[in-house]
Structure 1
Amino acid sequence: MKWVAVLFLCFATSVSAEPLRVLAIGDSIMAWHKWTGRDIPSVMGDLLGAQVENDAVAASRFSNASALGRAVGFDVRAQFRAGDWDVILINGGANDFLNDCSCSACDGVLNGLIGPDLSGEVPGFLARLRQTGAEVIWMGYYASARSGQFTGCRPYLVEYDARLARLAAQMDGVRFIDSEDVMDPSDRSLFAFDGIHPSPSGARRIGTYLAQSLAQ
């Protein structure tokens, strides 16, 4: 794709000799294809010439993980580790709706993560990440080709992302980038076999979009 090459060349001429250091944390959307190097953060990092550490873990929740779950990375907040990061890329929350309220009557879960007044566990954690000096990028969810076990979650995730977008607009150094902008749920080639996670093509499209957004 010509515009991808242009993006890479333009960004490469503007950065310093030191590559960006990126930490990615989150759930399976972020972790999918990690072991083959075709995950979203790796695609983004390759285009930006960045050093990326992807610590996202499939099935992770943002809150209410067990002590064992936190110890092995099933808690998004526990995935964070101190370092000289320039950018922290993060997502998470869908599994909270799935596990805590079965994607039904989830107002309490939503408000605990981020309330209508933009307070809650997610804003508190983002403020903590910003104290490290890194730029924080929250990646919003996309509509899937099929809902599967997440049937009923869509309205809550839409409102969740809307609140996060408003929060990012008010927080210095925090940006909301919506993967839904580039994922067409009618294009089955963008999705893995389950219709929920990104295929390599889908991950490449999202990673490219993130890189483009960061380079602007």
Structure 2
Amino acid sequence: MRWLVPVLFLVLSACGRGVPGDAPVVVAGDSVMAWNRVQGGSVADGLERLLEVQAGDVSLPLARVMDGRGALNIPNQLEGVDAPWVVLNGGANDLGVGCTGGNSRAILDRLIAQDGRSGAIPQMVAEQRARGSRVVWVDYYTSPRYAGTSCVPIYDEMEDRLRRMAEADPGVTLVDMGDVLPSSDLSLFASDRIHPSAAGSARIAQLVAAHLRDVDPERFAPAR
């Protein structure tokens, strides 16, 4: 029956939170964004409390940038979303668990080219920018389970490419979850040593909220 817990989480998470019509910020992406939603502790839940605004949330566990079906395709999550700010992540489920496949580099190239200007991620971001949104890309941390493995160089290269993408468009910025979730602090991670704990999700929300206050202080009032 141990399988029941993750299955139940996925079912409850699939219910999602949706997008209030006047939400100034919408979160989309994979399980890193959606984790702890059941107990009201997802990244979007944290942003709502910290920024004192409504925050939309269309993120889902298992979502992919490429090839996913329905809302498990992150570009599909964003259909009809034109919020002033969109907070995005993605790519881990495309690369696959463990990053041990011989095609990880080829998948990374499909996700985002070396110059950061082409691939599935820049295309998704460009489409969102065309709707008038500014985009915060939330780069992955190194999870305790995969610290020191072949995953690390792949994700380091992905971060370099994402940074080039952000540098090419002033309406796109990048924040790094690794700055607030060191793999050495197990209290910030769930029991699977991959996803954030409630404290980890809170730290991600704090990182993003501080960035939004910094770049858009008129919309997001500074903390009191």
State the TM-score bracket (shorter-chain normalisation): 0.7 to 0.9
Checking the alignment, whether the CA contact within 8 Å between 2:82 and 2:128 is kept in structure 1 is no
Aligned to 2:143: 144
Aligned counterparts of 1:79 and 1:155: Cα–Cα separation in 2? 29
1:189 to 179, 182, 187: 187
CA RMSD of aligned residues (A): 2.1
Aligned to 1:116: 114
Q: Secondary structure at the match of 1:57?
A: coil
Aligned to 2:4: none
Q: Secondary structure at the match of 1:78?
A: helix
Alignment of 1:1-216 (within 5 A): 21-65=24-68, 70-71=69-70, 73-98=71-96, 102-118=100-116, 119-147=118-146, 152-216=150-214
Deviation at 1:103, TM superposition (A): 4.4
State TM-score, norm by structure 1.
0.82
Deviation at 1:156, TM superposition (A): 1.0
State TM-score, norm by structure 2.
0.80
Count the aligned residue pairs. 192
Aligned counterparts of 1:176 and 1:85: Cα–Cα separation in 2? 18
Q: Secondary structure at the match of 1:34?
A: coil
Aligned to 1:12: none
Structure 1 runs of 4+ off > 2 angstroms? 101-105, 151-154
Aligned counterparts of 1:130 and 1:23: Cα–Cα separation in 2? 13
Which segments of 5 or more consecutive residues in structure 1 lack a partner in the other structure? 1-18
Q: Secondary structure at the match of 1:23?
A: strand
Q: Secondary structure at the match of 2:56?
A: strand
Checking the alignment, whether the CA contact within 8 Å between 1:104 and 1:153 is kept in structure 2 is no
Checking the alignment, whether the CA contact within 8 Å between 1:57 and 1:74 is kept in structure 2 is yes
Deviation at 1:84, TM superposition (A): 4.4
Which segments of 5 or more consecutive residues in structure 2 lack a partner in the other structure? 1-21, 215-224
